[in-house]
Structure 1
């Protein structure tokens, strides 16, 4: 049975969660799906396109509503749920691949500059949190028990 685009994105997210972004190659995604790497290119033009689709999937279930603080926490949770999720979303955002709909929804509930600032803060803080947690898990740094609280404090400053 042939893989669908959904299968490819799901496989790429499994690889991401298992190996991290640094080791998420098209070759490894193909191996995860049991196909040759060339088979992936029937669904995506290149790795950047796949990253955009992965980012879109990571944030797909984030509900954006009038409570921007709650929305920001939902976005953070979605990215924290998968290894290097924030890095994928940050990369996709920087290259305008696949997360602009979420930012547009935030802008509709606030203003474009507020939405962009909020989005960059949430993604950046979450990326730093993931990196710190990974480093502390292998003993490079001491765990920081203030990461969640510092996120909430920064978010409150932005939304004031």
Structure 2
């Protein structure tokens, strides 16, 4: 049977959820799909490319619909959406943090745009977006009340800077 790229990513997410990031390998995934490991290289040049595709799909599923709203409400929803996406899958936070460590710009971009819309200059938008992102990545395991309080504190600080 021939698999499309989306099929491979879907099965990889299932393997991630069932066995965790440590157990996710090209060999295991190929075995689950009933193909030779080399067949996966038709879709992904290496395991890092596969992990990036998995992370992107997890994030895509976690995105909330965009609406016209105040910058701080948008930043709040972006942070909640990222946290939800990471928590939905076993080792989701570990995967997303690892894949995007080298390319944090992809995760920071929407947060930075929200801050700029709120009047932040380049420095505040860059540092504010990075701070929010790092908070979400490092506190996804907190209980909901603690996470909400911490996120609120960060947003309060940004609001004060922008006032």
- Please give the alpha-carbon distance, in whole angstroms, between the structure 2 residues aligned to 1:100 and 1:42: 27
Residues in 1 aligned to 2:58 and 2:105: alpha-carbon distance in whole angstroms: 13
Q: How far 1:37 moved relative to its partner?
A: 0.9
In structure 2, do the counterparts of structure 1 residues 28 and 10 end up closer, same or farther at CA, with 3 Å as the change threshold? same
Q: CA deviation at 1:70?
A: 2.4
Cα separation, 1, equivalents of 2:81 and 2:132: 13
Could you tell me which of 66, 81, 85 is aligned with 2:88? 81
The match for 1:91 is 98
Q: TM-score with structure 1 length normalisation? A: 0.80
Q: Which runs of 5+ in 1 are unaligned?
A: 130-145
Change (3 A) 1:100 1:59: farther
The question of whether the paired residues in 2 share the 8 Å contact of 1:9 and 1:50 is answered with yes
Q: State the aligned residue count.
A: 140
Superposed, 1:26-41 pairs within 5 Å as: 26-41=26-41
Q: Does 1:104 align with 2:109?
A: yes
Alignment RMSD, CA only?
Answer: 1.7
1:102 Cα deviation (Å)? 3.6
1:115 aligns with 2:120: no
For normalisation by structure 2, the TM-score amounts to 0.79
Matched, 1:3 2:3: yes
- Runs of 4+ in structure 1 deviating by more than 4 angstroms, as ranges, are none
Which residue matches 1:125? Answer: 139
CA apart distance, 1:101: 3.3
The alpha carbon displacement at 1:100 in A equals 4.0
SS in structure 1 opposite 2:22? helix
Q: Gaps spanning 5+ residues in structure 2: where? A: 116-124, 157-163
